[in-house]
Amino acid sequence: MYSTVMTGAVQGISAYPVSVEVDISPGLPMLNMVGSLSQEAREARDRVSVALRNTGLTLPPSRITVNLSPANRRKEGTAYDLPIAVGLLAAMNHISGKRIENTLFLGELGLDGEIKGVPGVLPIVREAASRGVRQCIVPGANALEGALVSDVTVRGAASLQELFSFLLSEGEEEEELLPRVQLDVMELFQEMAAQKVPDFSEVSGQEAAKRGAEIAAAGFHNLLMVGPPGAGKSMIAKRIPGILPPLTLEESLEVTSVFSVAGMLKEGEAMVTSRPFKSPHHSITQAALVGGSTIPRPGMISLAHRGVLFLDELPEFQRAALDSLRQPLEESEIHIARVSGTVIYPSDFMLVCAMNPCPCGFYPNVNRCRCTEPQVRRYMGKVSGPILDRIDLCVELQAIDIAKLKNAGKNESSGEIRQRVIAAREIQRERFRGTGYRFNGDIEAADMECYCSLGKEEQQYMEQLYHRLNLSARAYHRILKVARTIADLSEAAEIGTEHLLEASFYRPAQEYWG
């Protein structure tokens, strides 16, 4: 007796179909599993057999072979438990083969027959829908996630007994046993808009830093804040997602796919509807930051996709971890190669960093700083040149005056700043229509003349600035990109001298890096 059941697997945030083939034939009683399986996938043999027995179904004393095809691709995880169990039931003629045609199954089994949630449901259901699959049966914990795909019927099952009853039913009875899960995506986005997020109105003083954050958000530039402890660096960083434009539906599905593959979606959570904000501790390893380890999983840079990655105490991060950010900052994706294969995860994030100006945090205040000049240079030198070159804006914060603290809650709100950011983003969208660019921060050196052209007076100013500050070519282009964003915020068609002057203000301070 032979049966086949459809399921799926993920590679990166993409999915591919997997067929679970079950054959029961005369011979020495055994359950053999093949198909390039990992340890946890191979352990499905014991989970499935015990779950079936505890549900009241016993495997026959025959030779049972289970193959997960394609057999040349490594199978990881526990999501194959449910399709294997369904395949065994079909091969034992407990359910009809026609009943499981054009249906995908996915889920982990507990020993008592409970169907437990698994990662990667959303990309697998999306791939199934693109291949014309009619129905997907997933764990109840993942049902809302799967229901984001409207082109396929998604049902959530809580136990093997519940699923078995459903597969034996027909007509209206099946809808009562395992109803189709439906989701109103627009309602989810409206709930997101009602959520309370940290607001810039709570930030007193630090006008330069707030202006830098606005420019960074408008042009998708990377931002570095330097200042003493307690100046408000972390407070400003946490409020940047609130001034970014809302996620579009497509962006939300991308982010949700990453969280789904990483197993980061909470039970009952359908999708990620707000910009991610990730702030890893400075002790994070390179593998945890960029992703990988034995099984390539999304790292912090991928979990911050379409959002903000905040690195506080920047010099305290491992040098290798920081340098590993260079490729994803340039290409907006990370390639992870391991023995088990190579995967690509998206990593289109806005990098926001914060650091003290010295080990004690109070340089150049000679009344409070006790660090020697070599100590300061060594501390600042922990930030490598290649990483510093990829940061478009650097702002310096000072200790807040007590008079400004009295204005807490009376400052400009995030909503007001966001409106200007959205208007600037719309100008960029029209400018880059039909090109590979989206934001001013993406402009490459070859296209500077096209998108950041200067008048005669502005060219003379930049020549003087170039020689006076001994700029590199990359620093020169960085000032032009920032100036283009500042001009967009002021709705100016051309870059003016005042825009260049403000952009040059956001260069890394010479007293720190020379």
> Quick check: bond before 364 cis, omega within 30?
yes
What is the CATH classification number for the domain harbouring 321? 3.40.50.300
Mark whether 405 and 435 lie in a shared domain: yes
> Quick check: bond before 280 cis, omega within 30?
no
Domain boundary among 385, 407, 439: 439
For residue 351, being part of any structural domain is answered with: yes
For residue 390, being part of any structural domain is answered with: yes
Spatial distance between the Cα atoms of 35 and 188, rounded to a whole number of angstroms: 40
Spatial distance between the Cα atoms of 126 and 121, rounded to a whole number of angstroms: 9
pLDDT in tens, the chain (514 residues): 899 999 999 988 899 999 999 999 998 999 999 999 999 999 999 999 999 999 999 899 999 999 999 998 989 899 999 999 999 999 999 998 889 999 999 999 999 999 999 999 999 999 999 999 999 999 999 999 999 998 899 999 999 999 999 999 877 777 788 999 988 877 777 776 567 778 898 888 888 999 999 999 999 999 999 988 888 899 999 999 999 998 888 899 899 999 999 988 887 778 888 899 999 999 999 989 988 766 678 999 999 999 999 999 999 999 889 999 988 998 899 988 876 678 889 999 999 999 998 888 888 777 888 888 888 888 888 888 788 888 899 998 887 766 666 665 578 899 999 999 999 999 999 999 988 899 999 999 889 999 999 999 999 999 998 888 888 788 889 899 999 999 999 999 999 999 999 999 898 765 555 5
For residue 278, being part of any structural domain is answered with: yes
Q: Which amino acid is residue 310, in one-letter code?
A: F
DSSP 281-329: -TT--HHHHHEETTTTEE-HHHHTTTSEEEESSGGGS-HHHHHTTHHHH
For residue 462, being part of any structural domain is answered with: no
For residue 68, being part of any structural domain is answered with: yes
**Cα radius of gyration (the chain):** 28
Mark whether 256 and 300 lie in a shared domain: yes
Nearest to 105 by CA among 73, 132, 79: 79
List of residues 6+ apart from 38 with CB closer than 8 A: 74, 75, 76, 77, 295
Mark whether 261 and 403 lie in a shared domain: yes
Mark whether 169 and 237 lie in a shared domain: no
Mark whether 86 and 149 lie in a shared domain: yes
Spatial distance between the Cα atoms of 382 and 394, rounded to a whole number of angstroms: 16
For residue 256, being part of any structural domain is answered with: yes
Mark whether 162 and 50 lie in a shared domain: yes
Domain boundary among 420, 439, 458: 439
Mark whether 260 and 159 lie in a shared domain: no
Locate 227 and state its tokens. Answer: 């200042």
Task: Locate all alpha helices (DSSP H) within 348-433, ordered by sequence.
Answer: 373-380, 385-389, 402-405, 414-431
Locate 331 and state its tokens. Answer: 């290409």
Residue 208 to residues 170, 205, 242, 395, Cα–Cα distance (Å)? 67, 9, 18, 7
DSSP character for 105? E
Mark whether 164 and 74 lie in a shared domain: yes
For residue 445, being part of any structural domain is answered with: no
The four Cα atoms 148, 154, 158, 161 give a dihedral, to 10 degrees, of: -170
* Phi then psi dihedrals of residue 137, to 5 deg: -110, 115
Domain count of the chain?
2
What is the CATH classification number for the domain harbouring 141? 3.30.230.10
Mark whether 147 and 198 lie in a shared domain: no
Counting Cα atoms < 13 Å in the Cβ hemisphere of 435 gives: 16
Mark whether 94 and 209 lie in a shared domain: no
Mark whether 59 and 109 lie in a shared domain: yes
On whether the CB atoms of residues 299 and 269 are closer than 8 A, the answer is no
Q: Which domain holds residue 106?
A: 2-183
Spatial distance between the Cα atoms of 66 and 48, rounded to a whole number of angstroms: 12
Domain boundary among 439, 467, 492: 439
* Phi then psi dihedrals of residue 321, to 5 deg: -65, -45
On whether the CB atoms of residues 177 and 220 are closer than 8 A, the answer is no
For residue 237, being part of any structural domain is answered with: yes
Mark whether 36 and 112 lie in a shared domain: yes
